[in-house]
Amino acid sequence: MVDSLLLGVEGIKKTILYGGTSEIPKFITGSKVTFHFRTMLCNDDRTVLDDSKKVGVPMEVVIGNMFKLDVWEALLKSMRIGEVAEFWCDIIHTGLYPMVAKSLRRIAEGKDPVDWHIHTCGMANMFAFHTLGYDDLDELQKEPQPLIFVLELLKVQQPSEYHRESWAMSDEERLKAVPVLHGQGNKLFKQGRFEEATNKYKEAILCIKNVQSKEKAWEAPWLKLEKMANTLTLNYCQCLLRMQEYYEVIEHTSDIINQHPGVMKAFYLRGKAHIEVWNEAEAKADFNRVLDLDPRVIKMVSDI
């Protein structure tokens, strides 16, 4: 059954494979939509690029939250709960798919979708742009083409019907959430609930990094957010010290020191972690750097 009246959107053809139930749900700004998707090339083999069912986790998007592949919002808004439909989408709608697919694949692999921790110079970024880390996506990026999306609409939740995680927030909401999460993390830390505190700090850091990614690196707004993220990362490291995750502390504090060599607390926490793993020379060097940055803390360092 072909539905050629897909909201009057040019370059899209819809075929309903399995009819849904009741009326089309209300899709308002903030609605969370849960669905399965399969992406295929428009070749004779209908080569499958991605399939959320194989990953085992359905996709979620929030309407009006500027999801990079905005055509999916238009497709979903034409569907009923339980409906399965196939959409042929022309190149004008599929150009950003390789970038979106890269993030989704990295998430499925348990990796950070945007590599926040990697700092590279402009030249390195220029070269990195030409590869997404997946050969099929690289080819699709070089030669954009129409794609087929098979979507199965599972659920539509209104804004009041679910807890909004950081990925579902606007930038303004993320920035408002940061001090709340920071305070919750501090309270949990004082209660000795270190693992729970790390989760609050991580969520706050993710909020900041999402906003920071839209700013120009090393300019004032970006640096302000960087300082906030570093403060939370060091709090996170304090929890890790209590949890005896010493090598992770060394890794995170070293990342901060490499970018911001004047952050005293990073040297102090790294020094404490080095002591715990018997890196005496490294610990001594870090504590000497602490005293160079602030001689007033000599008693704190000498008591270690």
- Domain of 279 in residue numbering reads as 166-288
Domain count, the chain: 2
DSSP code, position 21: B
Where do the H-state alpha helices sit in 191-219?
A: 194-212
The answer to whether the pTM exceeds 0.85 is no
Residue at token pair 């996506």 = 137
To the nearest 10°, report the CA torsion of 276, 278, 282, 288.
Answer: 60
Q: Is the dihedral of CA 35, 40, 46, 47 positive or negative?
A: negative
Q: Which amino acid is at 216?
A: K
Domain end point (choices 146, 161, 176): 161
Task: Give the pLDDT confidence score for residue 120 in this predicted structure.
Answer: 38
Regarding whether 156 and 69 lie in a shared domain, the answer is yes
Residue 84 falls within a domain, yes or no?
Answer: yes
pLDDT, tens digit, for every residue of 10-49? 899 999 999 988 889 999 888 889 999 999 999 999 999 9
pLDDT, tens digit, for every residue of 143-184? 999 999 999 999 999 887 876 666 667 788 889 889 999 999
DSSP code, position 166: G
- Number of neighbours of residue 147 by Cβ within 10 angstroms: 20
Q: Name, in order, each residue with C-beta under 8 angstroms of 73's C-beta and a sequence gap of 6 or more.
A: 27, 61, 63, 67
CATH for 84: 3.10.50.40
Q: Which amino acid is at 133?
A: G
Strands (E), the chain: 2-3, 12-18, 32-41, 48-51, 59-62, 84-89, 147-157
Confidence of residue 127 (pLDDT cuts 50, 70, 90): very low
Regarding whether 120 and 178 lie in a shared domain, the answer is no
Residue 25 falls within a domain, yes or no?
Answer: yes
Regarding whether 145 and 38 lie in a shared domain, the answer is yes
Higher-pLDDT residue of 244 and 131 is: 244
